[in-house]
Amino acid sequence: MVLWMLFVLILPVTSDGTDKKGDVNLIQPFLDPYHGQNITVKVGSTAELTCSVHNLGERFVSWVRTRDSKILTVNKDRFILDKRIRSYTSENLWILRIEKVREDDGGIYECQLSTFPKSSKIFHININTPQVCSQITRTVAQ
């Protein structure tokens, strides 16, 4: 009896998260807690934040800028007018790319999965602004 109950609890699952009948999604998407980074970039360069997602299935990946709660992208679709910003994927990696970085691009960004409850990971972009040095030269009259 105990063996039969164990068999019922452990259903055979395929790699895409469905049972062998193909109608039950048993594996929830998740973010790799060890993958990701906070980055420092120079003004004018390109910033890329990489979010590692597993078992995404039919769910969505969104990138959100937290300072204004603006949804930047959902999957590969851009939700803002700023053409410097886009999202692309390579296998299980979802990358937010910001070209020609400006000082106001610095801050906290969030990679979110469309799960309930929400699953997300926080990233931080630090902006390295070039220092402008002004040198005052004094001419001493003789």
Domain assignment present for 103: yes
Per this entry, what is the length of the chain?
142
The pLDDT tens digits for 34-71 are 777 799 999 999 999 999 999 999 999 999 999 999 99
DSSP 8-state code for residue 133: P
Domain span at 111: 28-128
**What's the rounded Cα separation, in Å, for the pair 72 and 109?**
10
- Give the total number of structural domains in the chain: 1
In a domain, 23, yes or no: no
Classify residue 14: in a domain, yes or no.
Answer: no
98-142: pLDDT as tens digits: 999 999 999 999 999 999 888 999 999 999 987 776 555 555 555
Q: Examine the pLDDT at 23 and tell me if it is beyond 60.
A: no
Q: How far is CA 142 from the centre of its chain?
A: 64
Question: Residue 104 is part of a domain; what is its CATH number?
Answer: 2.60.40.10
> Does the residue 20 lie in any domain?
no
Q: Would residue 135 count as lying in a domain?
A: no
- % residues pLDDT > 70 (the chain): 75
Residue 100 falls inside a structural domain: yes
Q: Is 17 among the domain residues?
A: no
